[in-house]
Amino acid sequence: MPDSAPQQLLHLVIGGELLDLEHNTFKNLDDVEIVGLYPNYATAHAAWRAKAQSTVDNAQMRYFIVHLHRLLDPNQESKAR
């Protein structure tokens, strides 16, 4: 990979119906939707917003942005400082 490749801060957008609004527990894991994998927060946020707005009539439906780059390299935060 070339040294000039842009840094990828991978983000995953997922969503599904929750059991209740007090906890982030999905009603059925088989129905959790994987919206997509994105190279940065801005594109993940745009995808999250589109999915969240399309399901606004279902109060139990929630979408989340998972910061995969933090899971893949937990020391990344301290390296940036």
Task: Tell whether 5 is covered by a domain.
Answer: no
Task: Tell whether 42 is covered by a domain.
Answer: yes
Residue-range definition of the domain harbouring residue 27: 11-67
Task: Tell whether 36 is covered by a domain.
Answer: yes
The CATH number assigned to the domain holding 48 equals 3.30.70.2400
| Residue-wise pLDDT tens digits, 34-79 | 999 999 999 999 999 999 999 999 999 999 999 999 888 877 654 5
Report the number of distinct structural domains present in the chain: 1
Task: Tell whether 6 is covered by a domain.
Answer: no
- Assign 11 to helix, strand or coil: strand
Helices (H), the chain: 41-54, 68-72, 76-80
Task: Tell whether 79 is covered by a domain.
Answer: no
Q: Which residues pair with 36 in a beta bridge?
A: 13
Task: Tell whether 4 is covered by a domain.
Answer: no
pTM: 0.81
